[in-house]
Structures are given as C-alpha cells and as structure tokens.
Amino acid sequence: MTATGIRTDPISDEIVHIAQLEPLAEDALTGPIWDYVAGGAGDETTLRQNRTAWSDISLAPHVLVDASELDTRTELLGHELAHPILIAPTARHIAYHPEAEAATMRGAAAANALPVFSSLGSSSIEELRAAAAAEQSPWWFQLYVQNDRAWTERIVAEATAGGASALVVTVDAPTLGARDRDRRDDLGAAAGARYPILNGMEPRPDSTPAHRRVYNPHLSASITWADLEWLIDISPVPVIPKGIVRADDARKAVDCGVGAVFVSNHGARNLDTVPATAVVLPRVVQAVDGAVPVIVDGGIRRGTDIAKALCLGADAVMVGRPAIWGLATYGARGVTHIIEILQTELEMAMALLGAPTIDDLVTDLLWR
C-alpha cells in the first residue's frame, strides 16, 4: 500500500507552523499507516511527555544584543551544515509517497538538511546512493544489527561504499515495544511491508501466537557492547549509537570510540514511561563532557525547542514524524517546508534570545 494523496497545489502561506501539516497527513494516509506514524508504545505516556518536556523549559533572553546578523551554520562530524536540523530515520517511505526515500532526499537537500535513512526503508542502498548523488547531498545510514552478523557486515560495507558518511546504530531495540495500535492493525499486512535492504536475510522463525510474541523477527535481541565495538572496528565511517538515555551508557559509548551520542527514546515507540529526551539530555551531555557531539530527537516541534536543545548542550537535533507529515502531504516540497519553518523559528528565537550564532546558545539562556 502506497500513499496516493500527495497535493500538487502550492503550499498555503497560512501554513506557518509544522503542526498544521499533521492533520493533513492524517487525511492523506490510511488508518493503519497513520497509526504507525502517530502512535507510541503502551499508554503513550512518553509520547506525550516528549512534546511537553520542551514546553516546560523556560528561556531567559539577554537584551540589547546586536542580532542584525544571524548565523545557524554548524559543523558536525566533518559536515559543514547550514543549520543543526537533521531528518531522523523512519521506515517505509513508500507508504507516504510513491517515490519513497528519493522524495525525502530531494526535500532534505532543498532545505540543506542531512537525512538519515533506515535499514527498514523502502529503498535499496543503490537507490539511496543514486538519490543522494542526484542531489549531491550527504546522508547517513541507520542500521538495526541482525542475528546474521555476516549479513550486517555486508550491509555496512555496501552502505558506506554507497556514500553514507556515518552509521547510526539503533541500540535500544532488542525487540519492539507494546505498540497497541500496530498490533491491533496488523500493520505488516496492512502496509504490504517490504524491506529491500533486508533481501537475502532470513528472519528468525517464530510460531508463538501473536498475543504472546515478544521478539521481532528482523531485530537481534542479543546485541551487546561487544557488537558496538565490533561495528566501530569494521566501519570506515563514524558510528553513532541511537537510543542513549542514561549518563553511564553515554560514557561507556564514548569509551568504545563512537563518533557521536544520539539521545533518543525511539520516538516513544518502544519502552513507555521512560523519561522524555529533554529531561535526560543534560545528564548525557554532562557525562559526554565534550568528547563527542551529542544529537537529540523526540517531540521537537518548534524552533524554540531546537534552541533549548542546543542550550542544554546538544550539537544537533533530528525530527522524524514532522518530515513524514511533509512527505505525505506535499512530497519533497513538504519536507523542505517543514525544515524551513523550523529554521526560521530557530532564527527568530536566536534573535530574541540575544544569541546570533549557534555557539551563543548556552545554558545561561535557560531560566533556572
């Protein structure tokens, strides 16, 4: 099943906040697909808190600071970025747009946003390479370590040879969470799920009745710190563990030799009632102590959220669901529009905070 409701009309000037695209995306997608996009785990407590935690942080702006020239440029793992807003990895882009990840790539490139593409995406690595080459734009690859380590090693080699300049390894998913919406909808059947990158990899057989099934056939439940060290050893590009919420795990990751630490709770889609990423971010930043960059996602919907994340010590942020809203409504144009709105709001926040550059966004600007 693929998306068919892509709009061709100009994006209205009245769409000034990214949340305005959320109901349009819901209208464009089938019920099960929308549940997959919007839903979280369990009672969706963390899903709600991911959003409200950013709003709970207050800002303390300086006044009488020359803000006539704003600069959102930043550097991340060798990339000179126009802004610190990246697109988080999400699966099954064919469910949102007929051109799948290629449309996302075009939209990201037009907004100067670095995208991360999922190993559970709808495109092959060769298709990702071609899409990135067409836009002359960098991209990163997200990996789920599989039970077949030889297969995992082959995919790492193919992705990096295809141009992926970093490897984002999901470390918080030995299985999936209690996603009630997806389990109710039988999402795999409803979406006609296909994963080209997984071709040739045999999923783990499981005859357990659906209501008693714990493990996911496409995920390795045995991944450990030794596997992270192994990936770092075999990867020619920086390895970034995604799913860090504890300070001690962040420090351990740094000691393993990671390129960056990615603070994430999987979009609140795995373990419900873990803290919001805005809450755990300061502890992780303190533990990392500047050794590597820190990236954060989870509930970021405003430019002020991005400013707060950077004031708390993050080097960059990622957005996942909002990019899907844009893709499912206006295709590549929608992805671009989402990022441009966030960048504009970030620039407004910087001017009003008296912080004309990214480096000026410091903890002192948070109300304590």
CA 104 to mean position of chain CA atoms: 13
The DSSP line for 268-314 is GTSSTTPPPHHHHHHHHHHHHTTSS-EEE-SS--SHHHHHHHHHTT-
Quickly count: other Cβ atoms within 10 Å of residue 224's Cβ: 12
Angle of the 332-353 helix axis to the 21-28 helix axis, nearest 10? 160
- Paired tokens of 101: 């990840």
Q: Which residues pair with 79 in a beta bridge?
A: 76
The DSSP line for 75-100 is EETTEEESSSEEEPP-S-GGGT-TTT
Q: Hey, is 342 helix, strand or coil?
A: helix
**Residue carrying structure tokens 């949102």:** 96
Are 164 and 237 in contact by the 8 Å Cβ rule? The answer is yes
Are 283 and 61 in contact by the 8 Å Cβ rule? The answer is no
- Paired tokens of 72: 């959102």
The Cα 321–Cα 51 span in angstroms is 12
- Paired tokens of 254: 């740094």
Angle at 82 between CA 80 and CA 88, to 5 degrees: 90
Q: Nearest CA to 168 among 147, 143, 145?
A: 143
Q: Which strand (E) or helix (H) includes residue 262?
A: strand 261-263
The Cα 67–Cα 71 span in angstroms is 10
Q: Hey, is 149 helix, strand or coil?
A: helix
Q: Hey, is 261 helix, strand or coil?
A: strand
Q: Which residues are catalytic?
A: 266
The Cα 129–Cα 120 span in angstroms is 16
The Cα 109–Cα 35 span in angstroms is 28
